[in-house]
Amino acid sequence: QVHLVESGGGSVQEGGSMTLSCEASGDISRTNTMGWFRQYPRKQREGVAAADNDGQVTYADSVKGRFTISKDSAKNTLTLQMTSLKPEDTAMYYCAATSVWFQNISFSLLASAFNFWGQGTRVSVSS
């Protein structure tokens, strides 16, 4: 089992920055690929970014150039640096992990690909 704990959410004004962190514990061997997802009210979770132990990263088009994901396998942490935040980035953000290695990590931004989830942290961006 893998336990994921997110931190770093909160409120920020449009154009501001925020960093989300996720700490993994438990069976770390099952966290080869980790990602960030977000969920709007009454919507399905959508992939934001993902990273794996081989250094592959991928981003949703909506956050490319603004968000940066980093995975520290030694510390079992996943970080999402968010800049130039927009009101439409307001959502609940979830950290996720899977033991699956994707030959092309761009295919990993599907919630169904991940089997371990954190409780989520809320990000609110005001205009």
Region 8-12: what's the mean pLDDT? 97
State the burial class of residue 64 (Cβ atoms within 10 Å of its Cβ: 0-12, 13-18, 19+): exposed
Whether pLDDT at 4 is above 90:
yes
pLDDT above 90 coverage of the chain, percent: 89
**What would the mean pLDDT of 13-35 be, rounded to a whole number?**
96
Rounded mean pLDDT, 62-84 = 96
Check whether 106 has a pLDDT greater than 90.
no
Phi, psi torsion values for 112, nearest 5 degrees: -70, -15
Radius of gyration of the chain (CA): 13
Q: How confident is the model at residue 104 (pLDDT cuts 50, 70, 90)?
A: confident
- pLDDT of the residue at 107: 82
Q: What percent of the chain has pLDDT over 70?
A: 100
Q: Are 92 and 120 in contact (CB under 8 A)?
A: yes
In which band, very low, low, confident or very high, does the pLDDT at 103 lie, cut at 50, 70 and 90? confident
Residue with tokens 């089997």: 115
C-alpha pair distances (Å), 29 with each of 33, 64, 100: 10, 28, 10
